[in-house]
Amino acid sequence: MKALLILLTITCFKFDNFLYAQPHLQKIDNLVAGQFANDELAGNILIAQKGAILYQKSLGLADVANRVPLDEHSAFQLASVSKLFTSVAILQLKQKGKLKVDDPVKNYLPTFSHPQITIRHLLTHTSGLADLQMLEKPYAADTGKIFTIADLVPAINQSDRAIRFSPGEKWSYSNSGYGLLALIVEKVSGLAFPSYLTRYIFQPAGMSHTYVSTPLLKVPDPHRVKGYDSPTYAPWLRQRVDSLPRNRIELHNLGGLLGQANVISTTGDLLLFDRALYGSKLLKASTLQEALRPTRLTNQELATTGWGNTSAYYGLGWMILKDTTAGKVVFHSGGMPGAVTLFLRNITKDQTVILLNNVTHRGTHGIGVNLFEVLNSGSFLANKQSLANIYARTLIKTGTESALEQLNAHKTDTTHYYLNEQEMNRLGLQMFYNGYQPAGLEVLRLNTVLYPASWNVYDSYAEGLKGVGRRQEAILMYRKSLELNPKNKAAERALADLIPNKE
């Protein structure tokens, strides 16, 4: 009888959660389906209330070449969501009395040459340390090197670009700071950072599908997804991020760093992490409460980050949403080539929203917060859509006439759409130089019609015309650009090249 009562209690608990969210689940699904159809979302989504899954979906492919679909077991690079585990590790060591967050970093890394920087400064991104710019010279000296956290202290000590402001003065995102935190974990615990996370975080939380992986620490996993980029003007095209030269430094040379990224996990394991944070498996409630308190700068202002509907304060490794309408919401986002992620927790209502994306869709964070908004109110503040993107994508798919129809139909609706000269210009040039030459040239031409007072649009259109051998038209456009901006030296040089005999 006792077992039956327990079963009934659990069943009613889950059913109550379902009834609570039922009116909004269809809206959530519609939002997800729409974003996937518009190539703005691809990956795994999990939404839970008090640990019970209300909504779970896999959208897209884990491996495009082999047409392997994503499923609930798919494992993703977490990017900067990994910083949450670094924060927990430091705070665990604090609880054990092995360090103090207001201690200078130099107490634990004796060769570190900036005694004014504390562990708290690193945790809160207020140290003044640059991101990873201090590694530029070492990279130039050895472009094949894979950097590790052991390289950070020497690089910081030797760089004149390592420190940007006095500690505590400002908030500025610093991946190098989290690399130093991982190094401190190693020095204090006597364990390699991946081993520490496994022993003291992943295993206690039951996260059996979560691990650290780098180019120097490769873990075989049949469920590990591939990461993809896609051009803004053609988001339906998928390019493996590790095949693109522009990503090599971040994914390969900087890929050996720890603390700031490189934790691999699943939506299910992250839900287990969420549950473990409510108990005492990982941190005491008082310690976690300290981590979720906004950081105050030396000028007494609160450290602020985020954008749009993700505007937030920053605590000890956690972002704290400014909007408290639906309760206290804490989260962390992540973004790198082939991975855009979000882990969001509503502490007040015990809600969890997890998005793991294996395509570089930068709007994922805003979509995740919108899902949370729909869960609680049934509505959300829609982001304005880019008419430049709509025009370029329609142009490629169905031609000039359809693209113009889309542009003209929406350009006066400034509530839901925006049109930006620089965005159009950038898209036109990207298309022109990446296999869509006629379409790219048309975007650049249209930009001169939309923004006839801008010298830059004529300069870019002239560049395209010159590239396809339309010499006389290019000369006219360069001359128009110079007329509007006599200081445009690039146009002068281009004209000298096009008119060698001073025609």
Q: Which are the catalytic amino acids?
A: 80
Neighbours of 279 (CB within 10 A): 11
β 417-418/385-386 pair status = parallel
DSSP string, 303-320: PEE--GGG-EEE-SS-EE
* Torsion angle of the four alpha carbons 330, 126, 333, 386, in this order, in degrees rounded to the nearest 10: 110
β 319-321/239-240 pair status = unpaired
In sequence order, which residues have a C-beta less than 8 Å from that of residue 253 and are 6 or more positions away? 139, 143, 145, 146, 147
Residue 54 near residue 251, CB atoms below 8 Å: no
Cα(40)–Cα(364) distance, integer angstroms? 7
Structure tokens at 12: 């009613």
β 211-212/52-59 pair status = unpaired
Cα(431)–Cα(425) distance, integer angstroms? 10
DSSP for residue 61: E
Amino acid at 19: L
3-state helix, strand, coil in the chain (%, to 5): 50, 15, 35
DSSP string, 40-54: S--EEEEEEETTEEE
Cα(153)–Cα(128) distance, integer angstroms? 15
Residue 392 near residue 230, CB atoms below 8 Å: no
Cα(209)–Cα(459) distance, integer angstroms? 52
Q: Which of these, 383, 388, 394, lies nearest to 421 by C-alpha position?
A: 388
E strands, 116-250, in order: 211-212, 228-229, 239-240
Residue 473 near residue 444, CB atoms below 8 Å: no
